[in-house]
Structures are given as C-alpha cells and as structure tokens.
Chain A
Amino acid sequence: MNQPNEITMHLDHALSARGASIPPETSDPVFTLDNVSVYYSDYEAIRNVTLPIGRNEITAFIGPSGCGKSTLLRSFNRMNDLIPGAHLKGTVAYHGTDIYGPNVDPIEVRRKVGMVFQKPNVFPKSIYENVAYGPKVNGTKGNLDDLVEECLTRAALWNEVKDDLKKSAYALSGGQQQRLVIARCIAVKPEVILMDEPCASLDPLATAKIEDLMVELASEYTIIIVTHNMQQAARVSDRTAFFTAELDENEIRHGRLVEFGRTRELFSSPTDPRTEDYISGRFG
C-alpha cells in the first residue's frame, strides 16, 4: 500500500492550478446541506449528508455507481420533486433559506440553480430558440439577440454557430450541443450550475473544451459537478466530496458521504482508507 501508485501519481499531475488559492474551510457558502437524506418512496438513496458549497468554487461529487451522488445533485434545484415518491429530510439551505421550506417555489429555485444533464438535451428547436427559451418562459420581453450572443460567447460556441443561429440544434455535434445547453443555462442568469456527468457522452477533445469552460465559468458561477472521471475531478474541481454505497444494519444499500475536502488534499492524502482505495482504482 505504501508503494507509489501509478494512478495517484497521474492524478497529482492532473491537479488544477486553482487548488492552491482555495482556503482550507469554506467561508462563504452558497449552499449548506445539513443532515440531508433523500428517499425514493421508502428507499433511502443517500443518508445524512452535511456539506457546504463554496461561492465561485467548483465542487466535484465522485464515487461508484449507485452511491446517490446524482440524486443528491438533483436535490439542489428540486428536480427530485418531479419523481413521484421522492422526498427529502434535513435542510438544503441556499444563502441561509431552506429551499424545501413552506414558502419556497421550486420554479424560483430552478431559476437560481441551473442544470446541465448527462446527455445533451437540446430542444428540438433552432440554436437561437434554445438559448432564448429560458428568458422567454421567465417573462423576458423584447429583443433577445444580444443576450443570445452573450451567452453563446460565454459558452465558447458563438464563433462556431453565429451564421447558423436559425439551424436546428440537432445539427450540432455532441460537444457543441453540450455547450449550447450550458449557454441555455446561463441565459437565465443563475447563481449556481449543476452538472450531472456533463462529459459522459463526449469524446476527449469535446471534454477538454467543456472542462476549460467550467474553469472559466467558475469566476462568475458556483459549479457542482458529478463525475465518474476522477481525473476530471482532479483537473477542474476545487473541492471534492467522495461518496460510496454501503449496506446498513438491515442489509439495505444506501449512499454515504465518506470524505469532503480540498481536491488537492483529498487526492494526495485522503484520510479515509475507502477514499484511497477508490481513487487509486482498487474498487469502483
């Protein structure tokens, strides 16, 4: 176990330069999870998560399949509400307000907390309409040309599509579609962007573009990303939360948060043996 491990060494090289400037503790959290458990009917998908999400930081959720990290991600913008039987215990505080509180409208939450999905889910409309859709349903009237250009530029897509704005979004490649989804997301001017394995269906080149984009967007937005790719977590994130699936006393599987900390430290000197096993590729 003390032998230098090829994979961890490789991850050391991947670690982002941003990591150095991150304070050890999250000082100004956008979200604070306190003892959050998410259920699908009776089944507890993830148990007792307590976690802060720092402003303008990239937080990565990693862990094996079935550990509940996507479920947890979807509780930040109340997307789990749409699944019949899904409910949550604990508090998900957004700037101190529990977003599951009685007077909170999930639609308002989703305007502040945008989401990018695993498979690029562009709408069957033109590129322009894809970006303009969010502002339109949120009641923005008038000419949206400037906003569309601004969002596409920020998503590093404008130069590739500026002459084809009226073309169907389906004509774009997978990587372009995913950047379009990001442009569509920031058009609503959210504060937080959730990304659920945004590069899972992309080739390495398209992945690299999305990763660069994430780092750039982090100056303005708070990003939470779920990823199966540990190198990706190491490359882009400031903090990492490692989850795993465990059997409880009743032999029922549920997700747990094992370790949370600065990415740099979590990958180079994990405190929990399960984290070490996972990032060194011994399981998962």
Chain B
Amino acid sequence: MSHLQLTNQLAGKGTPLRDRIFMWLLFLSLAIGVFTLAVLLTYVTIKGWPRLDIRLFTNMPSVRDPENAGAQSAITGSIWVISFTALVALPTGVMAALYLEEFARPNSRSQRFIEVNIQNLAAVPSIVYGILGLAVFARALALGQSVITAALTLALLVLPVIIISTREALRAVPRNIRDGSLALGATEWQTAYRQTLPAAIPGIATGTILALSRAIGEAAPLLLLGAVSFITFNPDGVLSDYTTLPIQIFNWTKDSREEFQVLAAATIVVLLLILLAMNFVAIWIRNKTQKRW
C-alpha cells in the first residue's frame, strides 16, 4: 500500500457543521456573561474615575459638599457588619453541618426534612430575612438600628449557604480517614474534631468566604433594618448606628446631582474590588490546599 493510499483512507470530512454550530452556541452563551461583566466594570470605572482617590476612604459622606464627600463610614460600617456576621454564622454553620454530617442518623425522615428546609432557606429572598430581623432583633430583642441587628440578620441569611458548603467539604473527606481514627479507639467526637473537621477546613473556608461576599453586597434587608440613615461617623461598637457600602451607593444614586452619581460609581468600584479580593482569596485557599486522597 502506497503512502498516498493510506493518507486517502485516513482522510475524514472534518468536524461536521452541526458540531461546529453547537460549539459556537456554547461559546456565545459564555460570551454574554463575560461581556455584561466587562461592560459593567468599564462603565462604572470610567464614570467613577474622577472620584476614585484617597478622599473616598478618608472623608465622610456629606450632603452639602459632594466635591469632598467620601465613603469612610460606609467602608468601616461594612467591615464591622461583615466581621460580626462571620463571627456568628461561621461557628453556628460549621457546628450544624458537623452534626448533620457526622452524628445525625443518615437518611432518617427528620434528616431529610431538615435537609430540604436548609436548601429552601438558601433560596429565600433576602428581603424576607430583613423583615424577620426587623421583627426579632430590632423590635423584640430591642437591639434597634444597630450593627449587631444587621450582623445577626445577615448571619441568618448566609447560614444555609455555610451549612451546605461545610457539609459538602465534610463529605469530601474519605470514609477511610474516619475508619482509621475510630479503629484506634478514638470516639466519634474525637474523630470529627481532630480528623474530619481539620481535613475539611479548606472547603469550609472557601464556602464561607463566598457566602460572606454575598452578604457584603446585600442592601435589601439592611434597608428594612434602618441603615438608610445618613451616617457621618464610624461605628464604635455593636450597638452603634451604621451604614454600609451598598446602602451608601443606594443613597447616592437616589440623589439627582451629577457629583453624587460619580461618587456612587466610584464606591461601586470599591465594593466590586472588595468582592473580587474575597473571591480571589477563596480560590487561592482552594488551590493551595487541594488534597490528593
């Protein structure tokens, strides 16, 4: 058989048209998402550029002096609120997940009921949590319009997400690690606390950061909780009044003066950078600690 004959036998018709069309459809779908994000980022960056300077971080909001107004109280407010959210939601979520995954009887009726409810809770609109927070924390517990009310409400909001991602991280720890520990005479609690949980920490950290990055961008529940007020001081405690970045952005975009529109755009860039940084940390933790079981 000559070389040419063989070449002819191996020659195909190339990728069929149908396959190529399908591939382009997939690519187009991806492009829509990426394109939207790119336009959004470009628009706010260009619009906010004149005010993206140090004054945004050093100055307080001002109604009379938009030229020199900043968002310091909103930045510190966001940090206060998100820190306390993490402080409340992380241990609660991890302990709940640990119970469900390691101690509760699997596949029992009550277990399935709880599971479905947690999934549902994760899908409840955030404004509903705002109403709950207003009724329970602000009014019934008389915590008022404070950092702690906001933090507790946002903690409830992210709790289901933390529970779900923690359970996934725990489930990814192989059964034979638990068996190895139990076979040495460790109790179930020692096994969970000293083997399973530490092995799951990277997954838990990733899930928690992503959940918190959702919380830091929330405005709806906080509007209900009374964070709307115009705040020109940094929080000085958990019972202090506060404002947060999304609330500040919301307030400024309501104002028709052009200076405030620019200021809002600049603040959006700051919020987006914080979000990107948090997501980056989450990805970094995940890549750095990838386990080979």
Contact = CB atoms under 8 A, between A and B. Distances in A.
Q: Report whether chain A binds chain B.
A: yes
Interface stretch (A5-13, A87-95, A96-104, A181-189): A181-189
Interface centre among B180, B184, B190, by most chain A C-beta atoms within 10 angstroms, is B184
**Which of B180, B187, B190, B195: most chain A CB closer than 10 A?**
B180
Contact of A82 (B105, B174, B182, B194): B182
Nearest to B293: A124
Contact of B180 (A84, A107, A108, A123): A123
Given A84-B106, A134-B184, A123 B179 contact: no
Nearest to A109: B185
A255 B187 CA distance: 31
A123 B179 CA distance: 11
Nearest to B187: A107
Interface string B171-202: 00010110111111111001000110011000
Give the interface size bracket for B toward A: 20 to 34
A108 B179 CA distance: 15
A84 B106 CA distance: 8
A119 interface: yes
Given A84-B105, A124-B291, A185 B184 contact: yes
Nearest to B194: A137
A123 B181 contact: yes
A39 interface: no
Contacts of B180: 117, 121-123, 181, 184
B176 A110 contact: no
Given A84-B106, A137-B194, A188 B179 contact: no
B285 to A, nearest CB: 15
Count class of interface residues, chain A: 20 to 34
A188 B177 CA distance: 17
A138 interface: yes
Contacts of A82: 179, 182
Contact of A119 (B176, B182, B185): B176
B292 interface: yes
A184 B184 contact: yes
A134 B185 contact: yes
A133 B181 contact: yes
A229 B291 CA distance: 31
A133 B195 CA distance: 10
A119 B184 CA distance: 16
A138 B184 CA distance: 9
Contacts of B106: 84
A107 B195 CA distance: 17
A147 B185 CA distance: 17
A82 B105 CA distance: 11
B176 A114 contact: no
A111 interface: yes
Interface string B159-178: 00000000000000010110
Interface in B7-64: none
Interface in A70-93: 77, 79, 82, 84
Given A84-B105, A117-B176, A79 B181 contact: no
Contacts of B174: 121
A170 interface: yes
A251 B201 CA distance: 48
A79 B184 CA distance: 11
Contacts of B190: 137
A213 B199 CA distance: 30
A188 B185 contact: yes
A259 B64 CA distance: 96
A49 interface: no
Contacts of A84: 105-107
B214 to A, nearest CB: 29
A188 B176 contact: no
A111 B292 contact: no
B185 A121 contact: no
A115 interface: yes
A126 B271 CA distance: 41
A137 B187 CA distance: 8
Interface of B: 105-107, 174, 176-177, 179-187, 190, 194-195, 198-199, 291-292
24 contacts: A77-B183, A82-B179, A107-B186, A110-B182, A114-B184, A115-B179, A117-B183, A121-B174, A121-B179, A122-B180, A123-B177, A123-B181, A123-B195, A124-B291, A133-B184, A137-B181, A137-B184, A137-B185, A137-B187, A138-B184, A138-B186, A184-B180, A184-B184, A185-B183
Given A124-B199, A137-B185, A181-B180, 11 more contacts: A82-B182, A107-B185, A107-B187, A119-B176, A121-B174, A121-B176, A123-B181, A124-B198, A184-B184, A185-B183, A188-B184
Interface of A: 77, 79, 82, 84, 107-108, 110-111, 114-115, 117, 119, 121-124, 133-134, 137-138, 170, 181, 184-185, 188
What are the 10 closest A-B residue pairs judged by CB atoms, nearest first? A111-B185, A121-B176, A134-B184, A115-B183, A137-B186, A121-B180, A110-B185, A137-B190, A124-B199, A107-B185
